[in-house]
Structure 1
Amino acid sequence: MDIKCISGFATITQNPAASASLYEGLLGLPLEKIDHYRFMDKFPGANHFGVWPLAMAAQSCFGQDEWPEGVPVPTATVEFELADAASVEAAVDELKAKGQAFVHTARTEPWGQTVARFMSPEGVLVGLSYAPWLHE
């Protein structure tokens, strides 16, 4: 087997209207719609795929090894890459002004990535990111 790329990623939602509001409304993704399925083809490719232990995600988001009670436990994460670190901070301000709550706002991780994260209606941990090595 010779896997070339991630050919697709889709969230699975129990609340299509809330999900559309996030991805189309707040994030501004130009999704097409066929029946009840929203999508976009030819979305620029994924630059990373990982299997992230929940303890590591909890440490990154909350500074502890346990995911806190009261916050839905994610089963996936998707990160949207922005132009620079300042763009991450600006996106946080923009989304907060529209009512989006964040797990944590923009900060720089020990490995150099600037990221802010929030939970989607489907329980996906969504990151707004600037990873400098992707821009070299």
Structure 2
Amino acid sequence: MAAWADTGGMDVRFVAGFAVITTDPALDKNLFVKTLGLPLQPPVSVPDSEYVYSENVAGAKHFGVWPLNEAAQTCFGQQTWPDTHLVPQATIEFEVDDVESAAQELVDRGFRLVHETRTEPWQQVVARFQSADGLLVGVCFTPWMHEG
């Protein structure tokens, strides 16, 4: 069995969040809330959002169901996902201490950022890119996950 090579990659602290990206928010909310019984709620800080999430699902710091149109708005400032990028089915975010350095390391390794490092309205600092298969990946710093 081959050992994993030490690539000297960025220092990921933990998985800050995972979300299903959906084209049918009501159907997927029904699946995760009513069928699976997850305690998902809409964010208080983003009225009129169909996004639902919980930070109380065992084993996950944050689990959500993110409508594709809201992901497109967050990433590209428009209501539709652009044809220039694969449509993602999920997103995962990795917590790092220095988002700017992590984003630059990604660019240096040949990844194209979906958007540069920025602070979202919910105060998370994040830069996003996509994997070869379209997974939306973020490197982030999530302040409330460090309090207390």
**Normalization by structure 1: what TM-score?**
0.64
Question: Could you tell me how far 1:64 is from its partner in structure 2?
Answer: 0.9
More strand by share: 2
> Where in structure 1 do 4 or more consecutive aligned residues deviate above 4 Å?
24-29
In structure 1, stretches of 5+ residues that fail to align are 1-23, 30-44
In structure 2, stretches of 5+ residues that fail to align are 1-6, 13-58
Does structure 2 conserve the Cα–Cα contact (< 8 Å) formed by 1:80 and 1:129?
yes
**What amino acid does structure 1 have at the position aligned with 2:145?**
L
State the alpha-carbon separation in 1 of the partners of residues 9 and 70 from structure 2: 28
**What amino acid does structure 2 have at the position aligned with 1:107?**
R
Asked whether 1:88 is paired with 2:102, we answer no
Question: Could you tell me how far 1:122 is from its partner in structure 2?
Answer: 2.1
**Normalization by structure 2: what TM-score?**
0.59
CA deviations over 1:71-118 (Å, ceiling 9, x no partner): 1000000000112xxx00011111211211110111000110000000
State the alpha-carbon separation in 1 of the partners of residues 135 and 71 from structure 2: 12
Counterpart of 1:118? 129
- Correspondence list, 1:1-136, <5 A: 45-83=59-97, 87-136=98-147
CA deviations over 1:107-135 (Å, ceiling 9, x no partner): 00011000000001121000001110000
Tell me the matched-pair count.
Answer: 96
More helix by share: 1
State the alpha-carbon separation in 2 of the partners of residues 89 and 131 from structure 1: 14
Give the aligned CA root-mean-square deviation in angstroms: 2.1
